[in-house]
Structure 1
């Protein structure tokens, strides 16, 4: 999964994005009721160099302005928030009333497994946003969207660690959902085996269940939108199909799209369909 991400650049160039920044906007709605767009890059939320996020606050925001948190992929061991800039630009264009947090997190290595480290980083960011709600002029209602490993983390935090029920929706693009899936445990594919190994030496079923969104979903899980590729070499088709069935059995509002001919990412018509579906889902469950 290392170094693999969705290839979106060509399509996004066609949209002709523009960006603006005004770091001098007053954060107080009482002093400035027509708040300007504000962009702040590399906000630190910890002592590690990877513990930073980019913050994009829309103009005319209020304490009802919802926040989308973006989490990059990279097999839990690589990647950067810059990988999600394509989605940030799309959201600023088509969903301009939502605040955006595009976060980095500490990357796993031989001495630092991804869980709980990366879940703790997400919790720290969420807590910081809540503490600064009045300063940023945002709601404490949040959504998540992640790609690949970032999608796994988005689902896992939303299902198992949202103690204050802040998450109003979560989006997963090619995210692993069930690490106890025989498609992983019985596979001889070195890429799939690496996915299990990165979680450390404890591969007992109890541990793998604790880090699998499939096993952590409940009837109170937030609305969820899932996208998977039928020819994905890293995330078996069963990951999306089984998650879809599990959410249906729990009565969780959700959407699942499987692109039979696509792999671990896609472009063209499938990509456009993904954005249209995700945008509509976000408008319904987070923006409104």
Structure 2
């Protein structure tokens, strides 16, 4: 334990030197939070992650891993954090370490490499859990929009032996304890708007290399809903009532499908809320999230 604490102290000293230049959201975290930024989990420049420790960090704490949104084709590991700052601080205050992951955009790779990156990042964290001071058997995930789709896809497909979702240079040893899904698409066919059915500039086209209507077979492979079964982890599902990008029916579809096979889940549709923003950092949602995370993530 002494060796671990000394190692973490070294990491934090190095991180303190660079964090102001490399992380635009660290200022939103509580005083005493420690950050190690831009840890490489792969060779590509986008295959990196940040780790945040609470002031009272101790060995073997549970880990929550953050996956950003951006229509699969923009953003980085700091996305979505600026409007969720109260929730972020409550997560750390409640005894969790937080990691936030960047991944190659859909315009930089071919599906399913984007989900391979996400699985690779979790495997990296699992394999280095002792080094970074968290419990490798208590890893949960949280995702927003495209990131919600990716955490849903990772968690739901884990029981289905989808070897193509694991990078050839990696493996899958980790298990996801629970999932926090904020407005992630779950069925890419019903997610497709009529005006995007054959739009080769749409986010889904960039993700799949075709629209869902042109390649329904590929759309089903990339749809989290395809993999729902009774062995899936618990889900905390949130969507805006007036979400213009991911209709709240996607959240209902996921919740109903999980309930039908007996998987614990909670569904919150936020009144008047759009696709993202401070609506989702409200106390009532934050309190529900922390209660869920304390129950299923620890």
Change (3 A) 1:89 1:215: same
TM-score (norm 2): 0.76
1:238 pairs with 249, 252, 257, which one? 249
Give the structure 2 partner of residue 112 of structure 1.
109
Give the structure 2 partner of residue 150 of structure 1.
147
Change (3 A) 1:52 1:127: same
Measure the CA separation in 2 of the matches of 1:57 and 1:214: 33
Tell me the secondary structure at the aligned position of residue 240 of structure 1: helix
Aligned-pair distance for 1:60?
A: 4.2
Deviations 1:27-50 (A, max 9, x none): xxxxxxxxxxx4211111112111
Say which structure is richer in helix: 2
Contact 2:234-2:264 within 8 A present in 1 as well: yes
Change (3 A) 1:148 1:137: same
Give the structure 2 partner of residue 33 of structure 1.
none
Aligned-pair distance for 1:164?
A: 4.7
Give the structure 2 partner of residue 19 of structure 1.
31
1:99 pairs with 97, 100, 109, which one? 97
Contact 2:92-2:98 within 8 A present in 1 as well: no
Runs of 5+ in structure 1 lacking a partner?
1-12, 22-37
Give the structure 2 partner of residue 76 of structure 1.
72
Give the structure 1 partner of residue 235 of structure 2.
224
Give the structure 1 partner of residue 205 of structure 2.
197
Greater Cα shift, 90-99 or 117-126: 90-99
Alpha-carbon RMSD: 2.7
Give the structure 2 partner of residue 278 of structure 1.
289
Give the structure 1 partner of residue 226 of structure 2.
215
Runs of 5+ in structure 2 lacking a partner?
1-24, 160-171
1:41 pairs with 20, 37, 41, which one? 37
Measure the CA separation in 2 of the matches of 1:269 and 1:84: 10
Aligned-pair distance for 1:18?
A: 2.7
| Structure 1 outlier segments of 4+, above 6 Å | 190-193
TM-score (norm 1): 0.78
Contact 2:123-2:173 within 8 A present in 1 as well: no
Tell me the secondary structure at the aligned position of residue 258 of structure 1: strand
Measure the CA separation in 2 of the matches of 1:55 and 1:143: 14
Contact 1:43-1:54 within 8 A present in 2 as well: yes
2:186 pairs with 169, 173, 177, which one? 177
